[in-house]
């Protein structure tokens, strides 16, 4: 009887292929599939969400889930006056109501949410050099509401969140889940930046109609650009909710040229008593 343990060629039980090839194929393939699914679902969610009546949005937030006004009623009234002024220029539907709130916080931001509510933080208001820039901020937030961006974002968030949670749960691996979620987030951010660009365009048109010019609008984006550069992390644009300030300035110039809007004109100061109230409201904190 002859018996031997011959040398078994390598590569039968373990693949000889470079593991990086498998890694990139899997990552690219799965990433592309997730991104494609999210894009399709986001587009569908965007299309469908606008059929939710505005009154439903108002009912959704009626339960007091939104932050309360914590600022000065005079400042709020001033802001509301500007918003009411812009309303007609925005050509918003009749049943849409805009309510602006002033929040006494250092946050350098303003946002629009469900039910036509706009929040203006003291931090941003203090940075704005004139009423022209303030008008553009308010018009921008109103444009979000006019285009139903908050409800679209919510619809998208729910659908995509569900999808990502299912995939993450199925994979069972923590880091794979993280990568899947990040892919989803980056894709959603692209939609977010599209919304910002759309809101910018609508807001610029509204301010141009109201003032007859767009003076001061570049000031706003320059301030936002400076805020970006002060951010210690300063991520690239694909990881951002908003396009870069520089790109938004270019966009202002392009739109102004296309629509023959004048970038020069009268600058209106924010009324001194409002500036004083804003500055004073900071003190107690």
Partner 1 sequence: MFDLIVFLVLLLSGFVIGNLVERNHYRSIIRREAQLRNLLLIASKKLPDEFMPCTTRMVAGNVVISVDFFKKFVAGLRSLIGGRVSSYESLIDRARREALLRMREEAQKAGAQYVFNVKTETTSLYKGKRGAIGSVEVLAYGTAVTLANQPSMKAG
Where on the chain is the footprint of partner 1 (CB under 8 A)? Answer: 1-7, 10, 13-15, 17, 19-20, 22-23, 26-27, 29-30, 167, 170-176, 178-179, 182, 233, 235, 239
Q: For residues 101 and 193, which CB has a smaller minimum distance to partner 1 in the complex?
A: 193
Burial of 268 (0-12, 13-18, 19+ CB in 10 A): middle
Q: Are the beta carbons of 160 and 216 closer than 8 angstroms?
A: no
Min CB(268)–partner 1 separation in Å: 39
Residue 127 three-state SS: helix
Q: Hey, what are 62's tokens?
A: 């009626």
Q: For residues 30 and 66, which CB has a smaller minimum distance to partner 1 in the complex?
A: 30
Please name which of 135, 170, 158, 199 lies closest in space to residue 46, comparing C-alpha atoms.
158
Q: For residues 41 and 154, which CB has a smaller minimum distance to partner 1 in the complex?
A: 41
Q: For residues 185 and 277, which CB has a smaller minimum distance to partner 1 in the complex?
A: 185
Q: For residues 51 and 175, which CB has a smaller minimum distance to partner 1 in the complex?
A: 175
Residue 172 three-state SS: coil
| Cβ partners under 8 Å of residue 66, min gap 6 | 113, 114, 115, 117
Q: Hey, what are 202's tokens?
A: 């609508």
Q: For residues 173 and 269, which CB has a smaller minimum distance to partner 1 in the complex?
A: 173
Length of the chain: 285
Q: How far apart are CA 202 and CA 9, in angstroms?
A: 68
Min CB(175)–partner 1 separation in Å: 6
Q: For residues 15 and 56, which CB has a smaller minimum distance to partner 1 in the complex?
A: 15
Distance of CA 249 to the CA centre of its chain: 17
Please name which of 146, 238, 151, 129 lies closest in space to residue 200, comparing C-alpha atoms.
146
Q: How many Å is the maximal CA-CA distance in the chain?
A: 108
Q: For residues 178 and 262, which CB has a smaller minimum distance to partner 1 in the complex?
A: 178
Burial of 45 (0-12, 13-18, 19+ CB in 10 A): buried
Neighbouring C-alpha atoms within 13 Å toward the C-beta of 195: 27
């Amino acid at each position: 009887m002859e018996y031997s343990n011959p040398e078994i060629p390598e590569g039968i039980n373990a693949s000889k292929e470079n593991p990086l090839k498998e890694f990139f194929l899997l990552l690219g393939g799965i990433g592309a599939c997730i991104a494609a699914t999210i894009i399709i679902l986001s587009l569908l969610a965007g299309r469908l969400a606008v059929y939710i009546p505005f009154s439903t949005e108002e009912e959704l937030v009626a339960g007091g889930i939104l932050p309360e006004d914590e600022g000065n009623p005079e400042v709020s009234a001033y802001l509301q006056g500007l918003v009411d002024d812009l309303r007609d220029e925005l050509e918003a539907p009749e049943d849409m109501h805009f309510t602006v709130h002033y929040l006494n916080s250092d946050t350098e931001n303003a946002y629009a949410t469900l039910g036509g509510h706009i929040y203006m933080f003291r931090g941003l208001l203090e940075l704005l050099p004139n009423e022209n820039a303030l008008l553009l901020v308010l018009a921008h937030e109103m444009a979000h509401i006019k285009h139903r961006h908050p409800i679209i974002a919510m619809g998208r968030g729910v659908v995509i969140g569900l999808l990502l949670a299912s995939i993450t749960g199925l994979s069972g691996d923590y880091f794979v889940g993280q990568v899947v979620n990040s892919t989803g987030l980056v894709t959603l951010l692209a939609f977010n930046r599209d919304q910002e660009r759309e809101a910018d365009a609508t807001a610029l048109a509204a301010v141009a109609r109201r003032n007859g010019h767009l003076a001061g609008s570049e000031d706003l984006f320059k301030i936002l650009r400076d805020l970006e550069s002060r951010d210690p992390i300063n991520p690239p644009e694909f990881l951002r909710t908003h396009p870069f300030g520089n790109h938004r300035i270019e966009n202002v110039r392009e739109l102004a040229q296309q629509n023959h809007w004048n970038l020069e004109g009268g600058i209106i100061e924010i009324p001194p008593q409002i500036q004083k109230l804003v500055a004073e409201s900071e003190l107690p904190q």
